Structure 1
């Protein structure tokens, strides 16, 4: 297993240059997108269902498409179409095709943050009641929430993802239960000259927005509701936002913090833990596979450490992997579970498809138990079917399965609004660098900027 950094862990990894796209660009590309529409669904023979997926886990999606084609027994053929690696580029290519009315787009793997936008734009179909009932049965509530908008189910959850706490048990025999406790433990380690870093995503990109969204939801607040009402500027969400921002600032400004936190992404935290400089990291399940995968030189397991847990220059017989452990995501309020923000990929049927009924059937096959288990064990993307968390083959690949499942059960989702892409840009801009956050001031600015994003008064990515 191994969740690739920058993949479906949380959503788009955007740059400033990539943000400032408008839908005028989509309109200008109508002719070119129609020209590259791919296989025609009107070709002679069984109907072709084009299945658009991101590049990560393309092999597994292709295998699922082949298996489901065989099971269709000649009634249709599923043809995988791989989108670009970057989530922004995936979204733009799909938008161009859908705005052009491309009938060769049938089934799409869409990021969980796109549901509201694609539904509002009229690009994806609302699942019929019978299909929605089948999708709902046995599917975890959190992933289902990412596919729901204004009371309707618009997609079928294929895989999900969530963060938990990964820590060094030699440095922290009892893992911290709250952020306050983790900060105190980190600073105590630093005073002893021991590895102390708390690794979390502090760079100016989607990961920082995810961190804040988890923290505000864990504190009992919300940024914006499904109706587009901005809540972050009013109580209780304002107080929750200030509490979230305060903790984030403390983590980054602590004398025990990683000096590079303001540019850190998922992979940076993984590397810091493997190098022996981090005591804690908030990250996705891919880090377990990474530390357990031997490199070509036959090593693996991270840096050698001495009896006190410091990086060692010689082979002492103990490595970071020997002390690598996991625990639930730290809470903001003692006694109240955290609400980690979940990611993932959902399957939606386009409104331009010539064969929606067949596409719905194919979606059910593509997200079957067998295919979700393969995606989980071979591609490192946790499943959305609850029963799989009790499957021994899944548990063997995911020793932290119980912590992952608990995180999913307590999950929060990102704001379900067509303006989410713009809101995320606002949040990551205002919160970076985290060490310089002024909690009271930044929350007021957030409220103003999120209102502008909801009203389309700023730049649209």
Structure 2
């Protein structure tokens, strides 16, 4: 496609909503707004002097690449790539390599010295790649990027134990309590308050408190982990192995499962929640106007606005995740993706960084990409740029992320641990297992070698 045609198509396409599964959970419905032309971000100064030939390869999650099924994404990346290569005629970019985002596959490539020059990494897993990634501090400085502009949870994974920067998070999301303002005038701050309000609403014929309790990652990041971590629970030990089933951690995880049993047995949480896999799978129930509260994510805002219409959606508001005790620190799991650079070749590093900066990471690039995908920017300053198009709940989402956002713990065993917790949550909500038995089974499955 010619450059003018690609850029023109962006103007038409970016205003539409998009949807994508991201960071192991149900992904976002697209934001609205017209993205600035990627050409505006192109680094043109000194390009005439660039004579050394540079080839670099970047590998993205398929949904974030030229092979995406979302035409808005494809046209944006095409136009940005065209603008970049026009400004850097000495650089050849190989964008054909994609993957499903499984970090285990990327880890194999990195350990065998076969990783691409740059690749996307699920942000919470960045620490597992520090030994293979190249420090980016000098590129940050040249680009004017400041670490304190990123939310704390993003800084925690981007910076290694040696104080150096090893990745750049470029999207994020978070989970909260949604509530109907006409039914729940004061959002509950504790889980006991959820039950108290829920019993009254359930008696009036409402699904008082809906949640994704099925066997999928949403059950872990949106339900069990926020409840567990708000008590100070530690999912893994210092060696990255499961720790939720022993000592004080066991008691805290048991509190989670006992609460879910009480919510389900009382009817506050419908038992069908045991089969709801992703946050957005609740949308059809919410559209019946019979749901009072639910646990969900920021990407559902535009989905629900489209589904309910502006008047009905205006009844909804968001609040931080409740806690077991008043005064405990709420936890909202915040995910997202990051870019890391593997190549040791300085010319390739610079070329890769410049292209990724322009497309995904500087003010316009991050604003444009999060607009298209319906994500939240992990850089605080981007929210105040004219290019970023948020919605009426963007401000409280930002405040919740900044104050309560945490990343999942990085561990090679995380996937196994999460799977076992999903089974436990689903089994308790459905009533097929008691909390103690479900926890014992999860612990046995997660801790066995």
1:52 alignment counterpart: 59
Q: What displacement does 1:188 show?
A: 0.8
Is 1:256 equivalent to 2:268 in the alignment?
A: yes
Structure 2 residue matching 1:320: 3-state secondary structure: helix
Alpha carbons of structure 1 residues 261 and 358: separation in structure 2 relative to 1, 3 Å: same
Which residue does 1:327 correspond to in 2? Answer: 319
Cα distance in 2 between the residues matched to 1:364 and 1:319: 39
Alignment map for 1:88-237 (pairs within 5 Å): 88=102, 91=103, 94=106, 98=110, 101-102=113-114, 105-119=116-130, 124-131=132-139, 134=145, 136-148=147-159, 150=161, 153-193=165-205, 195-210=206-221, 211-228=223-240, 230-237=242-249
Structure 1 residues 278 and 81 mapped into 2: Cα distance closer, same or farther (>3 Å)? Answer: farther
Query: What is the CA deviation profile of residues 77-107 of structure 1, one whole-angstrom value per residue up to 9, with x for unaligned ones?
Result: 44544735x544xx4664565566546x222
Q: Distance in 1 between matches of 2:281 and 2:317?
A: 18
**1:269-317 Cα shifts (integer Å, max 9, x gaps):** 1221122231112111122111222xxxxxx426xxxxxxxxxxxxxxx
Which position in structure 1 is the counterpart of 2:291?
278
CA contact (8 A) 2:226 2:321 kept: no
Could you list the per-position Cα deviations for residues 117-164 of structure 1 after superposition, in whole angstroms to 9, with x for gaps in the alignment? Answer: 444xx6x41424434775624111112223456556432111111012
> What is the DSSP-based 3-state SS (H/G/I as helix, E as strand, rest coil) of the residue aligned with 2:326?
coil
**Given that residues 125 and 348 in structure 1 are in contact (C-alpha distance below 8 angstroms), is that contact kept between their aligned partners in structure 2?**
yes
Gaps of 5+ in 2: 1-15, 28-50, 66-71
SS of equivalent residue, structure 2 residue 426: coil
Query: 2:405, 2:377 → 1: CA distance?
Result: 15
Q: Does structure 1 retain, via aligned residues, the 8 Å contact 2:363–2:385?
A: no
TM-score, length-normalised on structure 2?
0.76
- Counterpart of 1:292? 305
Residue 404 in structure 1 maps to residue 400 in structure 2: no
Secondary structure of the structure 1 residue equivalent to 2:271: coil
Alpha-carbon distance in structure 2 between the residues aligned to 1:70 and 1:412: 37
Distance 1:114-1:319 versus aligned 2 partners, 3 A rule: same
Aligned partners of 2:126, 2:239: CA distance in 1, in Å? 14
Distance 2:394 2:285 in 1: 23
Instruction: Tell me the distance in 1 between the aligned counterparts of 2:440 and 2:233.
Output: 15
Note the 1:230-249 alignment, pairs <5 A: 230-249=242-261
Alignment check: 8 A CA contact 1:199 1:281 kept:
yes
C-alpha separation in 1, matches of 2:61 and 2:264: 33
Q: How does 1:368-407 map to 2 (within 5 A)?
A: 368-391=362-385, 394=388, 397-407=390-400
Query: Which residue among 276, 279, 286 is the counterpart of 1:266?
Result: 279
Q: Deviations over 1:176-232 (max 9, x none)?
A: 222221222122112122x22422221112111212121111111111144325432
Q: 1:233 to 1:422 in 2, by over 3 A?
A: closer
| SS class of match (1:110) | strand
Q: Which secondary structure state, in structure 1, belongs to the residue aligned with residue 232 of structure 2?
A: coil
Distance (whole Å) between structure 2 residues aligned to residue 11 and residue 351 of structure 1: 32
Partner of 1:312: none
Q: Does 1:301 align with 2:320?
A: no
Structure 1: segments with no counterpart, 5+ residues: 13-43, 294-299, 303-317
Task: State the aligned residue count.
Answer: 392
CA distance in 2, matches of 1:235, 1:245: 16
Contact map agreement 1:273 1:280 (CA 8 A) in 2: no
Relative to the length of structure 1, the TM-score reads 0.74
SS of the equivalent of 2:411 reads coil
CA 1:361–1:174 in 2, change beyond 3 Å: closer, same or farther? same
Deviations 1:391-449 (Å, cap 9, x if unpaired)? 4664x523212321232121222122122222222222333223245334444444444
Matches within 5 A, 1:441-456: 441-452=437-448
> 1-side partners of 2:226 and 2:215: how far apart?
16
Q: What is the rounded CA distance, in whole Å, between the counterparts of 1:223 and 1:117 in structure 2?
A: 16
Q: 1:102 to 1:416 in 2, by over 3 A?
A: closer
Once the two structures are overlaid, the 10-residue window that deviates more, 429-438 or 261-270, is: 429-438
Correspondence for 2:98 among 83, 87, 90: 83
Deviation of 1:67 (Å)? 7.1
CA–CA distance in structure 2, aligned partners of residues 168 and 66 of structure 1: 44
Q: 1:339 aligns with which of 328, 331, 339?
A: 331
Partners of 1:158 and 1:271 in 2: CA distance: 30
Find the aligned partners of 1:68 and 1:244 in 2 and give their Cα distance: 51
Q: Which residue of 2 aligns with 1:74?
A: 89
Change (3 A) 1:252 1:407: farther
In the aligned structure 1, how far is the partner of 2:243 from the partner of 2:104? 29
Q: Is the 8 A contact 2:20 2:26 kept in 1?
A: no
CA RMSD of aligned residues (A): 3.3
Task: Indicate which of 408, 417, 424 corresponds to 1:423.
Answer: 417
Checking the alignment, whether the CA contact within 8 Å between 2:305 and 2:313 is kept in structure 1 is yes
